[in-house]
Homo-oligomer: A and B are copies of this chain.
Amino acid sequence: MKPSFSCLFFLLLRLLLFCFLHCVASSTARQRDLLNKFYFNNGAERSSSSSWARSLLSISDLESKAYDNSGLKEGDKVVRLPGQPKGVHFDQYAGYVTVDRANGRALFYYFVEAAENSGSKPIVLWLNGGPGCSSLGYGAMEELGPFRVMSDGKTLYRNPYAWNEVANVLFLESPAGVGFSYSNTTSDYATSGDRRTAIDALVFLVNWFERFPEYKGRDLFITGESYAGHYVPQLAHAILHHKDRLINLKGIAIGNAVIDEETSNKGLLDYYWTHAFLADETIVAIHKFCNFSPGAQLQPPECNRAIAEANHVFTEVNVYNIYAPLCFSSGVTPTPKLPSIENFDPCTSNYVEAYLNNPKVQKALHANVTKLNYTWSGCSKVIQGWSDQPSTMLPIIHELLSNGIRVLKYSGDLDGRVPVTSTRYSLNKLKLKVKVPWRAWMLNNEVGGYTVVYDHNLTFATVRGAGHSVPSYQPARALEMIKSFLQGLHLPVILRN
């Protein structure tokens, strides 16, 4: 077997699983560039989840990282975002929380209080994945935040399905090097990884609660998508093991989330075949010749050839929503186009990038106060390596369930990046009993998706017609789903006749 084949196989498999999940949503050209040039993670430590968890427990100096945050809250208040529409009746805050004073690591957050009764509503922390992509740029400005950016890159419009209808929502750009978050110790960017991402996020939360003490003890839900399938359970695990900090974690929700390497790869290729993007002979070869177990090394040439065939799909369609149109422009429009919350604009990332690089916007957000020597971008251009990533999150998810943490795993069913097939295969590995059988859930007399509840309070839900970033493509369904989850209710049903 030629060495080039085995190299290709590993490159492709890892691309299939990890590569910067959000950077490439806006054009095929960019997707192809990425596929050709970028996979930063060749040297990552591939530990099992349980050994990863043990080493995470060795955060002995957490107390020393609880800095003085008193009085900083008011300085973080966002008076008004440039281009913001009238009639905003909730408070917004944004700014930096130092997570490592010695190295000068500080994480940027954007906090949106609930539109009504914020004092009695839970906190939802939202994390985007990547690794390396921004919760401000994606989560807040393209998905579930209160505003979306118009095509002029200057004006905002209201998202009527924002999650601050039901919660106080905290967007965190994580780890340092993502978005406006930074480290004064540049070498930190070369040593990013799951472990430090979780520790820094925990330190962030501890300090954030000091800055917003009225939220201490409030119900907390950690949510996110894509590679945040690692971040979210890992942070939840870290919180559980530092109960002394009195963070009132109730549940986690992860969407189109990477949680298990073996099933992600197999599920992705099966998804392409069952959605008629692959030849029969390609999937037959994959099933016959490829070994997806995390320990597998050399693959026969028949497997490599089939994977190379499958890789064409990535270069041809928007894998984050396999039926969505592509974006063929690279900038913004001189005048704003009439936006539609129901039809997601495939060029949205362009508008967000323009907006967040506007100095007036940065000033309003208290962002970039140290004058970073790079521009804001949706996915990090400074993080160059990723030092550790467990091959599966399933043991941690099991641990969370055993500790009474509610888990929602949801899946936009048009995503080809972390498809619903992968998620179902992953969850099946948990071998949990079905508590409430599979059924449709409904919104406005339409099927919002399908759902099943497993023992220990694990809910799986699909969101029908949604891509990778579910609230971008199906905002009403996403809001309905998270609302039910926060309230501890089953997703809505109608009776069949």
Contacts and interface: CB of A to CB of B under 8 A. Distances in A.
A438 B323 contact: no
Contacts of A445: 28, 326, 328
Given A32-B497, A282-B438, A316-B440, A411 B323 contact: no
B328 A496 contact: no
A326 B444 CA distance: 10
B279 A452 contact: yes
B276 A424 contact: yes
A344 to B, nearest CB: 13
B275 A438 contact: no
A206 interface: no
Interface string A28-54: 100010000000000000000000000
Contacts of A414: 323
A456 to B, nearest CB: 18
8 contacts: A276-B413, A280-B428, A281-B434, A317-B446, A317-B464, A323-B414, A323-B464, A326-B446
Interface string A430-456: 000010011110000111001010000
Nearest to A428: B280
A274 interface: yes
Contacts of A322: 464
A420 B276 contact: yes
A317 B447 contact: yes
**Residue among A32, A270, A279, A462 facing the most chain B CB atoms (10 A cut-off):** A279
Given A274-B275, A316-B447, 6 more contacts: A276-B420, A279-B438, A281-B438, A312-B496, A323-B323, A326-B445
B323 A450 contact: no
The 7 closest A-B pairs by CB, nearest first: A279-B438, A274-B274, A323-B465, A276-B420, A276-B462, A276-B413, A316-B447
Contacts of A281: 434, 438
B446 A276 contact: no
A276 B450 contact: yes
A417 B279 CA distance: 22
Interface of A is mostly: mixed
A462 B424 CA distance: 26
Nearest to A460: B276
B277 A450 contact: yes
A447 B316 CA distance: 7
Interface in A286-335: 312, 315-317, 322-323, 325-326, 328
Contacts of A279: 437-438, 452
Interface in A229-284: 270-271, 274-282
Contacts of A315: 496
A421 interface: yes
Interface in A157-186: none
Nearest to A324: B465
Interface in A324-370: 325-326, 328
Contacts of A497: 32
A316 B449 CA distance: 10
Interface in A376-427: 411, 413-414, 420-421, 424
Nearest to A309: B438
A428 B283 CA distance: 14
A335 to B, nearest CB: 20
B275 A413 contact: yes
A12 B420 CA distance: 27
A69 to B, nearest CB: 44
Nearest to A28: B445
A179 B294 CA distance: 60
A468 B109 CA distance: 46
